[in-house]
Amino acid sequence: MIANLVGRIYAFLLGLLIRWGLPRPVFDFGAMIVAGFVVAIFIALVVLYLIWMERKVSAHIQQRFGPMWTGWHGWLQTIADAVKLLMKEDLTPTNVDKAVFLTAPFVVFVPSIMAYLVIPFSATWIVRDLNIGILYIFAITTLVVIAILMGGWSSNNKYSLLGGMRTAAQIISYEVPLVLSILGVVMLSGTLSMNGIVQAQGKWPWQWYWLPQILGFLIYVTAATAEVNRTPFDLPEGESELVAGFNTEYSGMKFAMFFLAEFANMFLVAAIATTLFLGGWQPFTGLLGFICFMIKSMAVVWLLMVFRWTYPRLRVDQLMDFGWKILVPLSFVNLFATSLIMVLRK
C-alpha cells in the first residue's frame, strides 16, 4: 500500500519535471538524494530509540528503573542528552592534528549510511538492490577502522592512540570470521543480493537460515559484537582502563557523533543478521514485512545489549586469540560442513 503511494508520487513528479524540461539523469539523481535522506532520518530515529532501549534494558537487568522523568518512562531522554551534548563546550585540544581530528566523527558515520542503502527493509523497500549486496556491505563497513584510527591518532594522547590501534587490530581481525561465517548462507541461497537471500529463505521460521547454519549464526553474532566494539569486545572503550580509548579527547557534538555511529553500526549488523539468518521481512510483505523485519532486528540488538550487561570484557591478546584461534577454525568447519552437505544432497 505504501509502496503504491511512493510509486505514484514518483511517477507524478517524474511527469511534472519532464514537462518542465528537466533531463532524466538529474531527476534520478534528485530521487537518490531524497532516498538517502529518508534512510538518514530513519537511522536517526532508530538510533534515538536504541539508546533509550539500551538504558532501559541495562537498568532492568540491574533491578533499577533507568530514565523515568523525561517523558513517559524516559523516552525523551535521548533527546535531552543530545541537547546537552550540543550545548557542551566543543574542546579542540591544542596539539591535535586539526583536519583529521575534526573530520573523524563524520568519517565514522559515512560507511554505516552507505551500508544501509542495500538493506531490504521489506520486499520492495530497499534503496538499491545491488546484485553484490553482501560483498558491498562488508567492503564498506571496513572503512570504519579508518575513522577510528583517525580519531585515535589525531588526539595527540597516549591513551587515545593505544585505544585506536587496538580497535583497528580488533576490527580487522574479526572481519575474517565475519565474512567466512556468512559464506554458508551465500552458498545455500546461491546469490549475493540481499533481497535474493531473503527470498531464498522460506516463509516459516524453521526454513530460515539460522537453523541449518546454526554454527554460522553463532559465529556471526560473536564476530558482529566484536565489529561494533561491544562488550565483551569493547576494549577500545574500556572504561575501566583507558577512560574512553580513542574517544577520550572528544567532547560535545563530536563525541555525540561517535556515540550515535556506534548505535547505527549496531543496528546495521543486527539488520544484516536478520536478513541473512532470520528471514528478513518474511513471511509478510509490504508494511507488515517492515514491521516484522524491525521486530527481528530489535531482538538481535536486544541480545547484543544483554551481552554487554552480563559478561566481563576480554583482554586484548585474549581477544585476538579468540578471533584467530577459535572463530576462524570454527567458521572453516562451518564452511566445509555446509559444502559437504550440499554436495551430498545433489
Q: Which of 253, 316, 320, 341 binds another protein (CB under 8 A)?
A: 316
* Cell numbers at 96, concatenated: 591535535
The yes or no reply on residue 176 touching another protein (CB under 8 A) is no
Rounded to an integer, what distance in angstroms lies between the CA atom of residue 22 and that of residue 107? 33
Percentages (nearest 5) of helix, strand, coil residues in the chain: 75, 0, 25
The yes or no reply on residue 60 touching another protein (CB under 8 A) is yes
The yes or no reply on residue 67 touching another protein (CB under 8 A) is no
CB of 278 to another protein, least distance (A): 19
- Nearer to another protein by C-beta: 20 or 72? 72
Q: Which of residues 230-269 bind another protein (CB under 8 A)?
A: 231-232, 234-235, 238-243
Of 59, 81, 60, 62, which Cα lies nearest the Cα of 70?
A: 81
The yes or no reply on residue 95 touching another protein (CB under 8 A) is no
Q: Which of 14, 17, 59, 291 binds another protein (CB under 8 A)?
A: 59
The yes or no reply on residue 162 touching another protein (CB under 8 A) is yes
Q: Which of 313, 323, 331, 334 binds another protein (CB under 8 A)?
A: 313
Q: State the number of CA atoms in the 13 A half-sphere of 342 facing the CB.
A: 16
Q: Which of 9, 41, 132, 326 binds another protein (CB under 8 A)?
A: 326
- Nearer to another protein by C-beta: 119 or 242? 242
Rounded to an integer, what distance in angstroms lies between the CA atom of residue 200 and that of residue 55? 36
The secondary structure of 158-193 as a DSSP string is HHHHHHHHHHHHHHHHHHHHHHHHHHHHHHHH----
Burial of 21 (0-12, 13-18, 19+ CB in 10 A): exposed
Rounded to an integer, what distance in angstroms lies between the CA atom of residue 211 and that of residue 185? 11
CB of 246 to another protein, least distance (A): 15
Rounded to an integer, what distance in angstroms lies between the CA atom of residue 274 and that of residue 269? 9
Q: Which of residues 195-234 bind another protein (CB under 8 A)?
A: 231-232, 234
- Interacting residues with another protein (CB under 8 A): 57-65, 68, 158-159, 162, 231-232, 234-235, 238-243, 306, 309-318, 326, 330
